[in-house]
Structure 1
């Protein structure tokens, strides 16, 4: 069955000399994997490697068959042409890091229009803005809303946040209770939009510590989550 859907490229892996396996988060079918035969050899044809840069936004025509692990792309075109995500060195590092996080968190082959819309609009915001030092922090925090473990905002005035339970608490109840600068930044980000990100002033060390806390939060709530291999390179770019 040929179907058309918007898609965001999440990962790609070389398979044999001339083939690629590409994973995309699609608007209508969730996460799907595609085998692109001969795409590394051919410079002609409807499907070319240039389309499949990480987090690219595409419209694809798919030969979709239920219960198949690898699908075939018949046609592809760019849905949005980024102006900076793949040419700005720092943004490219963010793209690599976030795509690895998404690859580890987005597993379901089912439609989730609100999650797809969030990915689409937030990436477009990132592409079009020049002040983005804290983008990845807010992106990951907001992503938890769609993954089912967004922090409960009751008792926001309390002095601790329990990463394991996702709740603010008056007294620490476990080793996963955070306080201090990480807690303060968490409270700020919970009340911040992407358009107000430039108002948050933190240094590289604070940013790195908060990111490590966020990744632990993901690990505690997603059993399959793995710390991105690109984290070390990413931290060097933002140091």
Structure 2
């Protein structure tokens, strides 16, 4: 039986000559994998553009609990990005965060609260006319709470991170992190490029401390280079 759900594409893998295996975070079923046959052929029902990372989709799917792969009957983008594909900073942040999400979203059950957070965050990233260079740090801080290991404040965070940072650096970064976590997306928080790199590095260590699946983040280097330019 067909079911309707909203979904956010996390990533995809090419499969055989014309097919894709697509991981989508759905409002109804959590993370789910779909096979889309013939998508890379000229007569494809759904074009590959629909399955780029972080695309937001209205879906009609054949979803059977306990089955590894599901099928998509209908897919339509309900929030076409206007800036992310064309802005190098925003697209680099999106690539980085989609890689993170591919490693941390494992629950195969619906979590509408988390889905709504992801949806609102990425819509803000696309629409924002304010600087977004701190967006990914704020995003990861808030996401950790949804994943069940968020710190309640910066002191608790730096206590866990103390093996990887000196007391001097904690004194330098703590007030900046306090500003970030008490500011909404788009609120300017002043810091140097080095401070931003240090905070992001610590945030990734924090995720690695709590999640064995996080591993290496390949797009981190690309993001660092873009942010340094």
Return the TM-score normalized by structure 1.
0.88
Q: Residue 103 of structure 2 corresponds to which residue in structure 1?
A: 104
Give the gaps of 5 or more residues in structure 2.
none
The corresponding residue for 1:8 is 8
Match of 1:33 in 2: 33
- The answer to whether 1:221 aligns with 2:210 is yes
**Superposed displacement of residue 233, structure 1:** 1.0
Unaligned runs of 5+ in 1: 165-173
Aligned residues: 224
Q: Partner residue of 1:182?
A: 173
- Counterpart CA distance in 2 for 1:12 and 1:159 is 36
How far apart in 1 are the matches of 2:156 and 2:21?
47
CA displacement, residues 8-60 of structure 1 (integer Å, 9 cap, x when unaligned): 00011111111111100000100000111111113442x22111111011111
Residues 211 and 61 (structure 1), Cα distance of their counterparts in 2 relative to 1, 3 Å cut? same
Change (3 A) 1:222 1:43: same
Match of 1:212 among 192, 198, 201: 201
1:47-196 mapped onto 2 (5 Å cutoff): 47-130=46-129, 131-153=131-153, 161-163=158-160, 175-176=163-164, 179-196=170-187
The verdict on how the C-alpha distance between 1:150 and 1:160 changes in structure 2, with shifts beyond 3 A counting, is closer
Cα deviation 1:147-194 (Å, max 9, x = unaligned):
1111123xx6x6982226xxxxxxxxx625661223222222221111
Query: Match for residue 170 of structure 1?
Result: none
CA distance in 2, matches of 1:92, 1:99: 10
